Amino acid sequence: MERLGTGIGWRPEIADAVERMPGIDWVEAVAENVCPGHLPDSLRRLRERGVTVVPHGVSLGLGGADRPDAGRLTALAERAEALGSPLVTEHIAFVRAGGPLTASPHLEAGHLLPVPRTRDALDVLCENVRIAQDALPVPLAVENIAALIGWPGEEMTEGQFLYDLADRTGVRLLIDVANLHTNHVNRGEDPAKALAELPLEAIAYVHVAGGFERDGVWHDSHAHPVPRPVLDILTDLASRVSPPGVLLERDENFPAPAELEHELSTIRRALEAGAVERVKAELRAAAGTGPGRRGAELFAAAGAGRREAAGGGGGGLLMEAGTARQEGARGVTGGTGAVRRGDETGAAEATRGAFGRPHQEGVDGARQRLALAQAALLSALVAGTPVPEGFDRARIGVQARALAAKRADVVAKVAPELPVILGDGYRTAFLGYAQTHPMTGGYRRDALAFAEHLLSTGRPGDTGARRELREWWLDRSGPAPRSRRPAHRLARATRRVLSRR
């Protein structure tokens, strides 16, 4: 796997700061926010300087019951080619449900939701990943996600699920250590156990991000500093394997550039600490063999740990250590002691029966069952239908409120005129609308539907604001905008709102 080094998530709000930051080897851009024919000047300049840019998709829904949409795959491929990227990444998640498989209304989550760690879900995910791999011009890596909720009746741990996925498809893994921490707090899962079960050699790179805890629930906000527990998990990972790349994610509430640079330095130190521990483990393992060539090589490698953590090369002896420990965790042995099918234990036993590809009839049946389960869950989250049996009702409520809040935030970003026109009443009005109107399309369509809903009910009460909202809706709901100057429209709406105060 190509060595990426240390990177940061590129966002328009911090584009200038990212260009000036020292020691940035690569960046990651949200794929859906990049237009291949009109790359942002900042990304273009970074590419000209030789900085690698990786498109990170959020809308494929590879963990959903439906096969990946051909149009979305084509769009992701176009972005990879436009950016000259060595790989593309997506998530192990579902983002929509309903439709023909369930003969129910199509629903959009507007967020990444966890897939059940079952054999049905794994069969579907593997086929979806293969479809994506065939359509993309570069390798694909998929990311473990953060979850507020857990599925009842799961059959595998996260590490076992990811191991089987990589083993059956050859897909690379994007390991988010912040998400491992989230699942530790919210689902009681042990990050160290997950790392021990992972196929470490399949790691493409690592995400690091911040969040916050409220009422015993960890929210993966990407809007707060990286906490110590996340850095500790990063060090643990680096003590097992040298990750090809590590990236800091920040999506909002952006601090001063100096603070982001400080976080990157902290991440490098966490990697360095892990690299040192990895070399120490090698030294301890070789201590009983005497001062031969192997011992000399290991002592020479001790100094390489610090250089590697700073973004240099890795692999070699250090990679061997992580691979050996990982094989031990899976019960993999060689020679006459090789594990036989039926004698597996631990993670290996959990993968029994998952070798190779299942018959197509089996996958189709798995899709049907998964579709029904995901539609029932998403309907409970966004449409107020009863919570499916086995789920934590309180946690479903937390997730539902989080989805509605994010929906309000994103609509305010894609349609910034709406908060201006509605003023302080925007958020209350939108959350009320969301309770009875699940999202069935994208966020821009959602903004139009929200405005239409308000107008159809005679809102807002202020005549001037209602007229402004109607003008805004007419500009966007027709076959073509009445004005092709969005900045002018926003300024006009702002002036008219201010004139009413």
Coil, strand or helix at 455 = helix
Check residue 347 and give its pLDDT. 33
On whether the CB atoms of residues 240 and 278 are closer than 8 A, the answer is yes
Dihedral, CA of residue 154, residue 158, residue 164 and residue 165, to nearest 10 = 100
Cα 186 versus chain centre, distance: 17
Check residue 361 and give its pLDDT. 74
Q: Which residues, listed in sequence order, are joined to residue 80 by a DSSP beta bridge? A: none
On whether the CB atoms of residues 463 and 446 are closer than 8 A, the answer is no
Cα 180–353–347 angle (5° rounding)?
A: 35
d(CA 8, CA 250): 8
On whether the CB atoms of residues 458 and 429 are closer than 8 A, the answer is no
Q: What residue spans of 357-477 are helical by DSSP H?
A: 360-382, 393-414, 417-422, 426-436, 443-456, 463-477
Check residue 452 and give its pLDDT. 96
On whether the CB atoms of residues 56 and 43 are closer than 8 A, the answer is no
What count of Cα atoms within 13 Å lies in the side-chain half-sphere of residue 102?
A: 24
Check residue 496 and give its pLDDT. 57
Coil, strand or helix at 50 = coil
pLDDT along the chain (501 residues), means of 10: 93 97 97 94 96 98 98 97 97 97 95 97 98 98 96 96 98 98 96 96 98 92 96 98 98 96 98 97 79 48 51 40 41 35 32 51 93 98 96 96 95 96 97 95 94 96 96 85 58 59 53
Q: Residues 175-187: pLDDT tens digits?
A: 999 999 999 999 9
Q: Which token pair is 181?
A: 């921490």
Q: Which token pair is 496?
A: 């008219």
d(CA 367, CA 446): 28
Check residue 402 and give its pLDDT. 94
Q: Which token pair is 226?
A: 């990286």
Distances (CA, A) of 216 to 148, 179, 211, 271: 11, 16, 13, 29
| Residues whose CB is less than 8 angstroms from the CB of residue 454 and which lie 6 or more positions away in sequence, other chains included | 429, 433, 460, 469
d(CA 220, CA 178): 7
Check residue 316 and give its pLDDT. 37
